[in-house]
Amino acid sequence: MGAPLPDVIQTAVITGGAKGFGAIATRTLHAAGFRVVITDLDQDAAGALASELDLAGETAVTATLDVANPADFQTVLDKVIDRWGSAEVLVNNAAMTQARPVLEIDPAEFNTVMAVNAGGCFAGCQTFGRHFKERGYGRIVNMASLAGQNGGTATGAHYAASKGAILTLTKVFARDLAPFGVTVNAISPGPMDTPMVHGIVPEDRMDGFLAGIPVGQLGRPEFVAKMVAMLCAPDAGFTTGACWDVNGGLYMR
Protein backbone atom coordinates (compact mmCIF):
# COMPACT_ATOMS: atom_id res chain seq x y z
CA MET A 1 0.00 0.00 0.00
CA GLY A 2 3.01 2.31 -0.33
CA ALA A 3 3.51 3.37 3.29
CA PRO A 4 6.59 5.59 3.74
CA LEU A 5 9.67 4.28 5.50
CA PRO A 6 9.65 4.94 9.27
CA ASP A 7 12.72 7.18 9.09
CA VAL A 8 11.28 9.49 6.43
CA ILE A 9 10.22 12.91 7.74
CA GLN A 10 6.80 13.65 6.33
CA THR A 11 5.68 17.01 5.00
CA ALA A 12 2.25 18.44 5.78
CA VAL A 13 0.67 21.31 3.86
CA ILE A 14 -1.95 23.23 5.84
CA THR A 15 -4.23 25.72 4.10
CA GLY A 16 -5.12 28.77 6.16
CA GLY A 17 -2.42 27.56 8.50
CA ALA A 18 -1.18 30.86 9.93
CA LYS A 19 -3.97 31.91 12.27
CA GLY A 20 -6.81 30.58 14.40
CA PHE A 21 -7.42 26.86 14.28
CA GLY A 22 -5.04 26.53 11.34
CA ALA A 23 -2.16 27.75 13.49
CA ILE A 24 -3.07 25.32 16.27
CA ALA A 25 -3.16 22.44 13.79
CA THR A 26 0.17 23.56 12.35
CA ARG A 27 1.80 23.62 15.79
CA THR A 28 0.35 20.21 16.62
CA LEU A 29 1.61 18.58 13.43
CA HIS A 30 5.03 20.16 13.82
CA ALA A 31 5.24 18.90 17.40
CA ALA A 32 4.29 15.43 16.10
CA GLY A 33 7.37 15.44 13.87
CA PHE A 34 6.02 16.71 10.55
CA ARG A 35 7.66 19.35 8.41
CA VAL A 36 4.96 21.96 7.89
CA VAL A 37 4.18 24.23 4.97
CA ILE A 38 2.09 27.11 6.30
CA THR A 39 -0.02 28.38 3.43
CA ASP A 40 -1.98 31.57 3.90
CA LEU A 41 -2.75 34.87 2.24
CA ASP A 42 -1.41 36.60 5.35
CA GLN A 43 2.29 36.03 4.87
CA ASP A 44 3.25 38.18 7.86
CA ALA A 45 1.34 35.84 10.18
CA ALA A 46 2.64 32.78 8.34
CA GLY A 47 6.22 34.00 8.60
CA ALA A 48 5.87 34.73 12.30
CA LEU A 49 4.54 31.24 12.97
CA ALA A 50 7.25 29.59 10.86
CA SER A 51 9.91 31.48 12.78
CA GLU A 52 8.30 30.49 16.08
CA LEU A 53 8.41 26.82 15.11
CA ASP A 54 11.84 26.76 13.45
CA LEU A 55 13.88 29.90 13.10
CA ALA A 56 16.28 28.11 10.74
CA GLY A 57 13.47 27.34 8.31
CA GLU A 58 14.38 23.68 7.99
CA THR A 59 11.08 22.17 9.16
CA ALA A 60 8.64 25.08 8.85
CA VAL A 61 8.21 27.20 5.73
CA THR A 62 5.52 29.41 4.24
CA ALA A 63 3.73 29.68 0.91
CA THR A 64 1.11 32.05 -0.44
CA LEU A 65 -2.07 30.22 -1.37
CA ASP A 66 -5.46 31.54 -2.46
CA VAL A 67 -7.63 28.43 -2.20
CA ALA A 68 -10.15 29.96 -4.60
CA ASN A 69 -7.46 29.81 -7.30
CA PRO A 70 -6.92 26.11 -8.17
CA ALA A 71 -3.58 26.82 -9.89
CA ASP A 72 -2.12 27.98 -6.56
CA PHE A 73 -2.29 24.43 -5.20
CA GLN A 74 -0.03 23.16 -7.98
CA THR A 75 2.37 26.04 -7.39
CA VAL A 76 2.63 25.13 -3.70
CA LEU A 77 3.00 21.43 -4.45
CA ASP A 78 5.78 22.14 -6.96
CA LYS A 79 7.55 24.25 -4.33
CA VAL A 80 7.35 21.41 -1.81
CA ILE A 81 8.60 18.83 -4.31
CA ASP A 82 11.50 21.08 -5.33
CA ARG A 83 12.53 21.45 -1.70
CA TRP A 84 11.81 18.06 -0.14
CA GLY A 85 10.94 15.70 -2.99
CA SER A 86 7.34 15.01 -2.01
CA ALA A 87 4.42 15.87 0.21
CA GLU A 88 2.57 13.33 2.33
CA VAL A 89 -0.23 15.28 4.02
CA LEU A 90 -2.77 17.93 3.05
CA VAL A 91 -5.01 19.61 5.61
CA ASN A 92 -7.80 21.57 3.90
CA ASN A 93 -8.56 24.10 6.61
CA ALA A 94 -8.98 27.51 4.91
CA ALA A 95 -12.54 28.82 5.00
CA MET A 96 -14.60 31.99 5.13
CA THR A 97 -18.14 33.13 5.82
CA GLN A 98 -20.34 36.14 6.39
CA ALA A 99 -23.02 35.36 8.98
CA ARG A 100 -26.36 36.74 7.86
CA PRO A 101 -29.95 35.45 7.42
CA VAL A 102 -30.41 33.18 4.42
CA LEU A 103 -32.93 35.51 2.78
CA GLU A 104 -30.35 38.30 2.85
CA ILE A 105 -27.46 36.40 1.25
CA ASP A 106 -26.51 37.87 -2.10
CA PRO A 107 -25.90 35.27 -4.85
CA ALA A 108 -22.41 36.64 -5.45
CA GLU A 109 -21.56 36.22 -1.77
CA PHE A 110 -22.95 32.68 -1.82
CA ASN A 111 -20.73 31.83 -4.78
CA THR A 112 -17.66 33.35 -3.12
CA VAL A 113 -18.11 31.34 0.07
CA MET A 114 -18.69 28.16 -1.93
CA ALA A 115 -15.62 28.85 -4.11
CA VAL A 116 -13.35 29.32 -1.10
CA ASN A 117 -14.69 26.58 1.16
CA ALA A 118 -15.94 23.80 -1.12
CA GLY A 119 -14.00 24.84 -4.23
CA GLY A 120 -10.76 25.11 -2.29
CA CYS A 121 -11.30 21.68 -0.77
CA PHE A 122 -11.97 20.19 -4.20
CA ALA A 123 -8.91 21.80 -5.78
CA GLY A 124 -6.67 20.71 -2.92
CA CYS A 125 -7.92 17.13 -2.92
CA GLN A 126 -7.59 16.92 -6.70
CA THR A 127 -4.09 18.42 -6.99
CA PHE A 128 -2.54 16.66 -4.02
CA GLY A 129 -4.60 13.53 -4.68
CA ARG A 130 -2.85 13.09 -8.03
CA HIS A 131 0.55 13.41 -6.34
CA PHE A 132 -0.38 11.02 -3.52
CA LYS A 133 -1.80 8.50 -5.98
CA GLU A 134 1.42 8.53 -7.99
CA ARG A 135 3.48 8.03 -4.83
CA GLY A 136 1.20 5.33 -3.43
CA TYR A 137 0.72 7.11 -0.12
CA GLY A 138 -1.01 10.17 1.28
CA ARG A 139 -3.24 11.61 3.97
CA ILE A 140 -5.90 14.26 3.35
CA VAL A 141 -7.93 15.80 6.18
CA ASN A 142 -10.80 18.13 5.29
CA MET A 143 -12.24 20.50 7.86
CA ALA A 144 -16.03 20.32 7.74
CA SER A 145 -18.45 21.55 10.40
CA LEU A 146 -21.47 20.60 12.47
CA ALA A 147 -23.30 23.21 10.38
CA GLY A 148 -22.80 21.03 7.31
CA GLN A 149 -24.47 18.10 9.08
CA ASN A 150 -27.47 19.71 10.74
CA GLY A 151 -28.04 22.72 8.49
CA GLY A 152 -27.10 25.22 11.16
CA THR A 153 -27.23 28.79 9.93
CA ALA A 154 -25.57 30.73 12.77
CA THR A 155 -22.48 31.11 10.60
CA GLY A 156 -24.42 31.54 7.36
CA ALA A 157 -26.41 29.17 5.17
CA HIS A 158 -23.74 29.38 2.47
CA TYR A 159 -21.14 28.28 5.04
CA ALA A 160 -23.33 25.33 6.04
CA ALA A 161 -23.87 24.39 2.39
CA SER A 162 -20.15 24.53 1.66
CA LYS A 163 -19.33 22.32 4.64
CA GLY A 164 -21.99 19.84 3.57
CA ALA A 165 -20.34 19.74 0.16
CA ILE A 166 -16.99 19.04 1.82
CA LEU A 167 -18.45 16.00 3.55
CA THR A 168 -19.59 14.63 0.19
CA LEU A 169 -16.30 15.44 -1.52
CA THR A 170 -14.47 13.61 1.26
CA LYS A 171 -16.36 10.41 0.45
CA VAL A 172 -15.87 10.77 -3.29
CA PHE A 173 -12.11 11.30 -3.08
CA ALA A 174 -11.75 8.64 -0.39
CA ARG A 175 -13.39 6.04 -2.59
CA ASP A 176 -11.36 7.00 -5.65
CA LEU A 177 -7.98 7.12 -3.90
CA ALA A 178 -8.36 4.21 -1.46
CA PRO A 179 -6.70 1.61 -3.74
CA PHE A 180 -3.55 3.75 -3.86
CA GLY A 181 -2.70 4.03 -0.18
CA VAL A 182 -4.35 7.44 0.19
CA THR A 183 -6.86 8.19 2.92
CA VAL A 184 -9.31 11.10 2.91
CA ASN A 185 -11.22 11.98 6.06
CA ALA A 186 -13.24 14.90 7.39
CA ILE A 187 -13.54 16.41 10.84
CA SER A 188 -16.74 18.21 11.86
CA PRO A 189 -16.21 20.43 14.90
CA GLY A 190 -19.08 21.72 16.96
CA PRO A 191 -18.96 24.91 19.06
CA MET A 192 -15.42 25.66 20.18
CA ASP A 193 -14.08 28.08 22.76
CA THR A 194 -13.04 30.58 20.10
CA PRO A 195 -13.67 34.28 19.44
CA MET A 196 -16.08 33.33 16.63
CA VAL A 197 -18.39 31.41 18.98
CA HIS A 198 -18.19 34.09 21.65
CA GLY A 199 -19.06 36.63 18.97
CA ILE A 200 -22.18 34.69 18.00
CA VAL A 201 -23.39 33.80 21.50
CA PRO A 202 -23.79 36.77 23.89
CA GLU A 203 -22.22 36.19 27.28
CA ASP A 204 -25.57 36.62 29.04
CA ARG A 205 -26.88 33.67 27.00
CA MET A 206 -23.82 31.45 27.24
CA ASP A 207 -25.08 29.40 30.21
CA GLY A 208 -28.24 28.52 28.32
CA PHE A 209 -26.22 27.69 25.23
CA LEU A 210 -23.92 25.38 27.19
CA ALA A 211 -26.93 23.67 28.76
CA GLY A 212 -27.89 22.50 25.27
CA ILE A 213 -24.56 20.74 24.78
CA PRO A 214 -24.66 17.22 26.31
CA VAL A 215 -21.14 17.53 27.79
CA GLY A 216 -22.02 21.00 29.13
CA GLN A 217 -19.04 22.92 27.79
CA LEU A 218 -17.42 24.34 24.69
CA GLY A 219 -14.76 22.31 22.96
CA ARG A 220 -11.13 23.34 22.71
CA PRO A 221 -9.44 23.71 19.31
CA GLU A 222 -6.66 21.47 20.59
CA PHE A 223 -9.15 18.56 20.64
CA VAL A 224 -9.63 18.95 16.89
CA ALA A 225 -5.93 19.45 16.18
CA LYS A 226 -5.05 16.21 17.96
CA MET A 227 -7.55 14.39 15.77
CA VAL A 228 -5.97 15.94 12.68
CA ALA A 229 -2.59 14.58 13.76
CA MET A 230 -4.11 11.14 14.40
CA LEU A 231 -5.64 10.97 10.92
CA CYS A 232 -2.37 12.12 9.33
CA ALA A 233 -0.34 9.34 10.93
CA PRO A 234 0.99 6.42 8.85
CA ASP A 235 -0.91 3.92 10.98
CA ALA A 236 -4.26 5.55 10.15
CA GLY A 237 -4.36 3.72 6.82
CA PHE A 238 -7.53 1.73 7.53
CA THR A 239 -9.67 4.81 8.16
CA THR A 240 -10.98 6.66 5.13
CA GLY A 241 -14.14 8.36 3.92
CA ALA A 242 -15.16 9.01 7.53
CA CYS A 243 -16.52 12.09 9.26
CA TRP A 244 -15.10 12.48 12.75
CA ASP A 245 -17.43 14.45 15.02
CA VAL A 246 -16.00 16.72 17.73
CA ASN A 247 -19.16 18.38 18.98
CA GLY A 248 -19.77 17.51 22.64
CA GLY A 249 -22.70 15.28 21.70
CA LEU A 250 -24.71 17.96 19.89
CA TYR A 251 -25.02 15.70 16.84
CA MET A 252 -25.03 11.94 17.37
CA ARG A 253 -25.16 9.31 14.63
Beta strands in the chain (DSSP E): 11-15, 35-39, 60-63, 89-92, 138-143, 182-189, 243-246
Burial 85-113, CB ≥16 within 10 A → b, else e: ebbbbbbbbbbbbeeeeeeebeeeebebb
Active-site residue set: 159
pLDDT at 165 over 90: yes
Q: What is the topology classification, in CATH, of domain 11-246?
A: Rossmann fold (3.40.50)
The pLDDT score that the predictor gives to residue 7 is 61
pLDDT band, residue 153 (cuts 50/70/90): confident
pLDDT digits (tens, 9 = 90+) for 70-127: 999 999 999 999 999 999 999 999 999 888 999 999 999 999 999 999 999 999 999 9
Q: With a cut of 90, say whether residue 195 has pLDDT above it.
A: no
Q: How far is it, in rounded angstroms, from Cα 221 to Cα 215?
A: 16
Predicted TM-score (pTM) of the model is 0.94
Q: How confident is the model at residue 189 (pLDDT cuts 50, 70, 90)?
A: very high
pLDDT tens column, 42-86? 999 999 999 999 999 999 999 999 999 999 999 999 999 999 999
Lowest mean pLDDT segment, chosen from 104-108, 173-177, 185-189, 199-203? 199-203
Decide if pLDDT at 174 tops 80.
yes
Q: Which of 37, 226, 215, 28 is CA-nearest to residue 128?
A: 37
Q: What pLDDT does 207 receive?
A: 93
